[in-house]
C-alpha cells in the first residue's frame, strides 16, 4: 500500500508540473524554473528520499520523472524554460506514450525558423577556439543540452510524420537538422563534439533516416544525395554506423534502377578515381567494406561478398573478383564456394585450364561428391 501511495503521489506531482508547462505554452510566456522546481533538488529525488522506500519503487516511477529531471538540468543553466523547449519536452512525452498525432501537434508549434539561427550560433561558438579578452563574446545563446533537446524534437517530428505516411514532409524536417549543422560547421564536426553523446546520437539517427524517407517519398535522386552527404561530410561517425550507411547505399545503387550522376567532390586529389556510374560507385563502397573487415574493424557480413560478386560480374571484372576472393581470410567462405566462384571467374576470362584444374581439385575432395553444378561446369569446359 505504501508503494502504491508513493507512485500515486509521483503521478500527481508530475501532472501538476505538466499543467503549468501547458499553460505556459498556451500563453506563450516563459516559465521560470522556480515555478516548477521549488528547490535545487529534483522533486522526484526529494520525494524518493523522504519516503524511504526501496529502490524498486524508485525504478517504477523513474520512467515518469526522467524527462522532467532532464529538463531541470537544462533549466538550471539559464533559469527559464522557453516556449520551444517546453514544446520539445512535452512532444517527446506524448511520443513516448504512443500518441503520435498529439506529439506531432505539439512539435508543429515549435518555430523552427526562429530557433535555427540560435542553434547555429550555439554550435559554432561551441567549437570556437577560445580567444583572449573575448570570453563574453563566446557565450552561446543556447546550451548544448537545449540544442540536443530541440534537435531530438525535430527528429521525432520527422518520425511521427513518417508514421502518418507524410514522407516528403518527414524528409524535409529531417533535412533541417543536417542543414543547420553543416551551416554552423562548414569544415565538419570537431573532435570535442564527442562529449555531446546525445547530440551525436541524434545526428546519426537523422543521417540514417533521411535516405530512407526520400526512398519512401519516391525521390531516388534525393536519396542518393542524402547518402553521399552522410559519407562525404565529416560527421564523426562511428565505424559501425558508417559501414551500415555504405552498405545500404551500395544496395540502393545496384538494385534501385536509378541512374546516379557522378559525385561532385569539392576537394579531390589530382588523378584520383571518380566513379562514373552506379556500378562503379557500388563496387567502390563494397571494396571499402571488405577492406575494413580484413583489418578487423567490422564483423563479417556475408552479404557484402554476395553484392560484390554481382556488381563485379555486371561490370565484367571477373579477374578482379577472383583476386578479391583469393585475398579473403581462411574460414570466411567454405572451400566449395570459394573454388566454384574462382572457377566461374577464370572461365569467364577465358582461362579454361585454370578453371578446370580448380574444379578437379574440388571434386577430388570426398566432401564434395555431390557437386552436380561443378560436374556440369567441368563437362562444359
Which residues lie closer than 8 Å to 273 by C-beta, 6 or more apart? 284
Decide: 89 and 132 in contact? Cβ < 8 Å: no
Hey, is 18 helix, strand or coil?
Answer: helix
The half-sphere exposure of 352 on its side-chain side, counting CA atoms within 13 A, is: 5
Q: What is the distance between the alpha carbons of residues 14 and 334, in angstroms, rounded to a whole number? A: 59
The half-sphere exposure of 73 on its side-chain side, counting CA atoms within 13 A, is: 10
Decide: 120 and 184 in contact? Cβ < 8 Å: yes
Give Cα separations from 184 to 123, 300, 377 (angstroms): 6, 37, 60
Interstrand relation of 80-81 and 31-32 (parallel, antiparallel or unpaired):
antiparallel
Q: Mean pLDDT in each 10-residue stretch from start to end of the chain (381 residues)? A: 50 54 49 39 32 39 50 49 83 92 92 91 75 54 86 95 95 95 86 70 93 95 94 88 94 91 62 80 94 88 93 92 88 85 89 86 71 78 78
pLDDT reported for residue 266: 55
Decide: 311 and 279 in contact? Cβ < 8 Å: yes
| Dihedral over Cα of 352, 354, 356, 362: its sign | negative
Lookup: cell for 246: 555504405
Query: Where along the chain do its domains lie?
Result: 81-126+142-231
- Going by the DSSP 8-state scheme, the letter that residue 141 receives in this structure is S
Measure CA of the first residue to CA of the last residue in the chain; give whole Å: 83
Cα angle value 194/171/260 (rounded, 5°): 95
pLDDT reported for residue 380: 81
Instruction: Please state which architecture CATH assigns to domain 81-126+142-231.
Output: Alpha Horseshoe (1.25)
Q: What is the distance between the alpha carbons of residues 87 and 276, in angstroms, rounded to a whole number? A: 47
Decide: 175 and 217 in contact? Cβ < 8 Å: no
Q: Tell me the whole-structure pTM to 2 decimals.
A: 0.75
Look-up of cell digits 572451400: 335
Amino acid at each position: 500500500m505504501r508503494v502504491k501511495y508513493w507512485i500515486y503521489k509521483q503521478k500527481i506531482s508530475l501532472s501538476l508540473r505538466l499543467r503549468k508547462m501547458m499553460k505556459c505554452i498556451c500563453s506563450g510566456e516563459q516559465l521560470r524554473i522556480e515555478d516548477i522546481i521549488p528547490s535545487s533538488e529534483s522533486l522526484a529525488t526529494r520525494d524518493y528520499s523522504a519516503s524511504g522506500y526501496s529502490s524498486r519503487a524508485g525504478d517504477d516511477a523513474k520512467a515518469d520523472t526522467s524527462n522532467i529531471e532532464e529538463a531541470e538540468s537544462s533549466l538550471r543553466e539559464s533559469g527559464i524554460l522557453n516556449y520551444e523547449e517546453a514544446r520539445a519536452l512535452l512532444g517527446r512525452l506524448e511520443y513516448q506514450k504512443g500518441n503520435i498525432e498529439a506529439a506531432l501537434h505539439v512539435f508543429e508549434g515549435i518555430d523552427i525558423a526562429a530557433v535555427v539561427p540560435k542553434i547555429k550560433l550555439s554550435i559554432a561558438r561551441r567549437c570556437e577556439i577560445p580567444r583572449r579578452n573575448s570570453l563574453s563574446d563566446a557565450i552561446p545563446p543556447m546550451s548544448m543540452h537545449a540544442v540536443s533537446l530541440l534537435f531530438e524534437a525535430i527528429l521525432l517530428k520527422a518520425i511521427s510524420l513518417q508514421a502518418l505516411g507524410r514522407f516528403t514532409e518527414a524528409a524535409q524536417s529531417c533535412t533541417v537538422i543536417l542543414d543547420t549543422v553543416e551551416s554552423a560547421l562548414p569544415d565538419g564536426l570537431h573532435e570535442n563534439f564527442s562529449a555531446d553523446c546525445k547530440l551525436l546520437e541524434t545526428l546519426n539517427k537523422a543521417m540514417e533516416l533521411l535516405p530512407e524517407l526520400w526512398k519512401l517519398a519516391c525521390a531516388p535522386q534525393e536519396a542518393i544525395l542524402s547518402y553521399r552527404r552522410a559519407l562525404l561530410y565529416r560527421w564523426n561517425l562511428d565505424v559501425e554506423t558508417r559501414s551500415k550507411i555504405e552498405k545500404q547505399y551500395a544496395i540502393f545503387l545496384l538494385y534501385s534502377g536509378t541512374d546516379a550522376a557522378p559525385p561532385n567532390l569539392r576537394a579531390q586529389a589530382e588523378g584520383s578515381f571518380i566513379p562514373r556510374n552506379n556500378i562503379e560507385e557500388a563496387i567502390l563502397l563494397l571494396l571499402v567494406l571488405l577492406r575494413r573487415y580484413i583489418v578487423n574493424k567490422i564483423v563479417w557480413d556475408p552479404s557484402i561478398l554476395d553484392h560484390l560478386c554481382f556488381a563485379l560480374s555486371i561490370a565484367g571484372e571477373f579477374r578482379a573478383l577472383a583476386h578479391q576472393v583469393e585475398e579473403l581470410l581462411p574460414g570466411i567462405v567454405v572451400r566449395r564456394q570459394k573454388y566454384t566462384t574462382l572457377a566461374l571467374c577464370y572461365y569467364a576470362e577465358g582461362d579454361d585450364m585454370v578453371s578446370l584444374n580448380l574444379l578437379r581439385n574440388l571434386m577430388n575432395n570426398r566432401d564434395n561428391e555431390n557437386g552436380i553444378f561443378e560436374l556440369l561446369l567441368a563437362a562444359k569446359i
